[in-house]
A and B are shown apart, each in its own frame.
Chain A
Amino acid sequence: MANTSLLKLEGDPLITAASRRLDMPRRDFLQFCATLAATLGLPQGADAAVAEAVAGKKRPSVIWLHFQECTGCSESMLRAEHPTLERLILDVISLDYHETLFAAAGHQAEQARKTAMAANRGAYVLVVEGAIPTRDGGIYCKVGGQTAIELTRECAADAAAIIAIGSCASWGGMPSTDPNPTGSSGVAAVLGKPVVTIPGCPPNPYNFLSTVVHFLTFGSLPPVDDLGRPRFAYSRLIHENCERRAHFDAGRFAIEFGDEGHRRGYCLYKLGCKGPETYANCPTVLFGDAGAGTWPVGCGCPCIGCTEQGVGFAKPIHMLAKVRNIEPPQQYPRIVEDKGVGATLGSAALLAAVAGAAAGGAAMIARNLGLSHKAEEAERARLAREKEELRDGQ
């Protein structure tokens, strides 16, 4: 990481060669590298290191295994609409084994895997796509006569880094939905050690690419959370950066698909959007490089929480999310708050009447008590006088 200025790389022959190889203008290539560095949350100057690494370093050998899955993760990486990204992926990494992209078949393909593993022993990256069935000895998924468990363990033994791509490989994903007849599990569970996971169904290709580029540039995988997800991509709730968040805070919700609120782009929380309990960078990175609004919530589709174990494929789609930060209130404060009503004729009159009645009653009682006291005193005086007279008489 000698160079820390992207501008100084403008005339670098390596960069020129790389951009020619990728069939993209030199400026676009540098811009792409800067974007990757920014996505990873790397400090200033790291963009140059990324560009140098992408242009000059030997591409890491990648063994890509497929198990219980739909190949959606690979598809999202190789969308035909975006050839540049596809070229980039195939150029940044040396994809030595990928069951669905291979021209080779059968023993030839398996041989290619073994050769690549032997040649890059301890240096290749193992990518696992799809869940691994564990019930009945893992017989529900076999490739070349080997179960998924055996293949994973064999390939993981000498890998420099292991990446579980997609929700299936991360924790079991859709195949592990109850009752989970094949005992689908994630890579980490099968290997018994933590691996980097890029959950999503499909995950954002940039999150995978940025992870690989980090490995390429710095020789290590990026920092991850306790579920193995890279922090740069999965540290914030979708809810936090959602473009519809203002509607949530203001209490404007779509209640039914196609209703007035839905057409106006209100918050989808009450349609079951799982954004408030799902960690992913979807609202900031978006999908498909097609511009603003191109992600599920942006298109009016509630998030299903595909990156979050226990939410995606577990909670019903229409079910209300458990809001991780702030619960929406039942009622919202009024914009103009009443500052109170002073005395009205009725209330003042009632209070005065009660006070008057109390005062009148008290006066009556006091008078009666006074009169009886006076009478008693008079009686006492009379008795005393009589006693006096009696004594005088004696």
Chain B
Amino acid sequence: MSAGHEARPAPVGGSLFNATTLVCGVLIAIMASVVVVRLFFGLASVTNLNDGYSWGIWVVGDVFIGSALACGGFSVALLVYIFNRGEYHPLVRPALLGSLFGYTLAGAAITFDLGRWWNFWHIFWPGYFNVNSVMFEVAACITLYILVMWIEFSPVFLEKLGLHDARRKLSKVLFIFIALGIVLPMMHQASLGTMLVVMGDQVSPLWQTPILPLIYLLSAIIMGYGVVLFESCVAASAYRRQIEVPLLNPLAHVLLGVMALYLVARFADLIIRGALPQAFRLNFVALSFWVENLSFVAPFFLIGTAEARRNPARLFLAGIAVMLSGILLRLNGFLIGFDTGPGWSYFPSVPELLVTLGIFAAEVYGYIYITRRFPVLPREDGEALPARG
């Protein structure tokens, strides 16, 4: 499609059985069996969690990182509905789809990580509310956001089912949910940073700062745009479609702007707190810090010019760099730069990794299924090539 030409979304079509979905299916099945063992025999039977590291790869990977990677929908909606840049509208549905799966599975993944998972409903029961807890704020906010997202995304299902009357009625009140869909992630993505603040000096000074909520919120928005770049390129490549370069090019420009803001806030904070010398020590934590921040800087070299942004390979690599930097920011804060005292250590066990892998496989499979069967991606002009992937 071309810019300025508003294409209606349409299902991609094609078979649901191929190498990719098969691999996803196997990974999901492995995850399911590990989860069954975990639910019946406890966390210790499958994870390496301990009293020093009570949050492992499931919480950090599936929830903190998973939900931040799922900020595409929110980031694009912010651009389209708040900054009134309607030209990005074709990106909303695919981005929202990624968010939908990211968040729904993050919500499911947190259940596996609850010690007494059968009490999970307590968080929704007013008698059990602890309104002073940052964990409560995050849990309530994420749950609400998942609901809101399904409502935001429901026109896709209504169109598919031919319920045009319901679709029309819904579109009259949809603005409420779109507004909520922007406010809620801003709340809890910031609160996810607050969760690290309350960990106190167990967290390395490189990642422990009172402005963590701002850092996490900005990086979530950045990751949202990064994911849209990544997703568009992968979808185009896998489905052999045209890449929406005319849309991604200016989007990438916006991304660079937010990243510049982020980097200024991040390093100003490090310098003001006097924590920067920690980054010049010879250890793994310092190395991880530099990998994280070089990933944040890399896009400026990859897609710094409008000419470079026309190359989808560069957009794709920039998307990966942005995602990697956000992932490392969270991994570093919660696991790598997190020292709970002498003797304590954590590294995810094989079953733990398999579950995280299964969660991401489920997201990929869900994306393939929905885009092939429901109107999400913009309709291709001309003759569609046989889809792959």
A311, B312: Cα distance in complex, Å: 77
* Pair B349/A341 contact, Cβ less than 8 Å: yes
A114, B353: Cα distance in complex, Å: 90
8 Å CB contact of B345 from A339, A365, A368, A369: A339
Query: Is A121's beta carbon under 8 Å from chain B?
Result: no
A366, B311: Cα distance in complex, Å: 10
Indicate whether A367 sits within 8 Å of B52 (C-beta atoms), given known contacts A342-B345, A344-B349, A347-B349.
Answer: no
Shortest CB-to-CB span from A384 to chain B, Å, is: 15
Chain A, Cβ-Cβ closest to B44: A338
7 inter-chain pairs at a CB distance below 8 angstroms, sorted by A residue, are A341-B349, A346-B350, A347-B352, A366-B313, A366-B317, A373-B311, A373-B313
Q: Which residues of A contact B381 (CB under 8 A)?
A: none
* Pair B347/A342 contact, Cβ less than 8 Å: yes
8 Å CB contact of B316 from A346, A351, A365: A365
Indicate whether A340 sits within 8 Å of B346 (C-beta atoms), given known contacts A354-B357, A369-B313.
Answer: yes
8 Å CB contact of B50 from A339, A350, A365, A366: A339
* Pair B353/A354 contact, Cβ less than 8 Å: yes
Chain A, Cβ-Cβ closest to B116: A330
Query: Is B233's beta carbon under 8 Å from chain A?
Result: yes
Q: Which residues of B contact A339 (CB under 8 A)?
A: 50, 52, 343-345
A340, B347: Cα distance in complex, Å: 8
Query: Is B297's beta carbon under 8 Å from chain A?
Result: no
Indicate whether A369 sits within 8 Å of B237 (C-beta atoms), given known contacts A339-B50, A339-B52, A341-B345.
Answer: yes
* Pair A368/B346 contact, Cβ less than 8 Å: no
Q: Which residues of A contact B165 (CB under 8 A)?
A: none
Indicate whether A343 sits within 8 Å of B344 (C-beta atoms), given known contacts A366-B313, A373-B312.
Answer: no
Q: Which residues of A contact B347 (CB under 8 A)?
A: 340-344, 347-348
What 0/1 pattern do residues 236 to 279 of B give for CB contact below 8 A with A? 01000001000000000000000000000000000000000000
Q: Which residues of A contact B237 (CB under 8 A)?
A: 365, 368-369
8 Å CB contact of B51 from A337, A372, A373: A337
Chain A, Cβ-Cβ closest to B353: A350
Q: Interface size for chain B: under 10, 10 to 19, 20 to 34, or 35 or more residues?
A: 20 to 34
* Pair B353/A366 contact, Cβ less than 8 Å: no
A119, B312: Cα distance in complex, Å: 113
Query: Is A370's beta carbon under 8 Å from chain B?
Result: yes
Q: Which residues of B contact A365 (CB under 8 A)?
A: 233-234, 237, 316
Q: Which residues of B contact A366 (CB under 8 A)?
A: 313, 316-317
Chain B, Cβ-Cβ closest to A361: B234
A373, B249: Cα distance in complex, Å: 14
Interface residues of B in 38-52 (CB under 8 A from A): 48, 50-52
Q: Which residues of B contact A346 (CB under 8 A)?
A: 350
Interface residues of A in 348-375 (CB under 8 A from B): 348, 350-351, 354, 362, 365-370, 372-373
Query: Is B177's beta carbon under 8 Å from chain A?
Result: no
A268, B297: Cα distance in complex, Å: 67
Max chain B C-beta neighbours (<10 A), residue from A337, A341, A348: A341
Q: Which residues of B contact A340 (CB under 8 A)?
A: 48, 50, 52-53, 344-347
Indicate whether A351 sits within 8 Å of B348 (C-beta atoms), given known contacts A339-B52, A339-B343.
Answer: yes
Shortest CB-to-CB span from B258 to chain A, Å, is: 23
Q: Which residues of A contact B357 (CB under 8 A)?
A: 354
Q: Which residues of B contact A369 (CB under 8 A)?
A: 233, 237, 243, 311-313, 316
* Pair B350/A350 contact, Cβ less than 8 Å: yes
* 8 interchain residue pairs of minimum CB distance: A370-B313, A369-B313, A343-B347, A340-B345, A369-B312, A340-B50, A339-B343, A366-B313
A344, B345: Cα distance in complex, Å: 12
Shortest CB-to-CB span from B332 to chain A, Å, is: 16
Q: Which residues of A contact B243 (CB under 8 A)?
A: 369
Query: Is B320's beta carbon under 8 Å from chain A?
Result: yes
Q: Which residues of A contact B349 (CB under 8 A)?
A: 341, 344, 347
Q: Which residues of A contact B52 (CB under 8 A)?
A: 339-340
* Pair A337/B313 contact, Cβ less than 8 Å: no
Instruction: Contacts A339-B344, A346-B350 known; list 7 others, CB within 8 Å.
Output: A339-B50, A339-B343, A341-B346, A347-B349, A366-B317, A369-B233, A370-B312
Q: Which residues of A contact B354 (CB under 8 A)?
A: 350
Q: Which residues of A contact B48 (CB under 8 A)?
A: 340-341
Q: Which residues of B contact A368 (CB under 8 A)?
A: 237
Shortest CB-to-CB span from B21 to chain A, Å, is: 15
Shortest CB-to-CB span from B317 to chain A, Å, is: 6
Chain A, Cβ-Cβ closest to B53: A340
What 0/1 pattern do residues 274 to 317 of B give for CB contact below 8 A with A? 00000000000000000000000000000000000011110011
Shortest CB-to-CB span from B65 to chain A, Å, is: 14
Chain A, Cβ-Cβ closest to B315: A369
* Pair A347/B50 contact, Cβ less than 8 Å: no
* Pair A347/B353 contact, Cβ less than 8 Å: yes
Chain B, Cβ-Cβ closest to A371: B313
Shortest CB-to-CB span from B192 to chain A, Å, is: 23
Interface residues of B in 323-373 (CB under 8 A from A): 343-350, 352-354, 357
Shortest CB-to-CB span from B198 to chain A, Å, is: 21
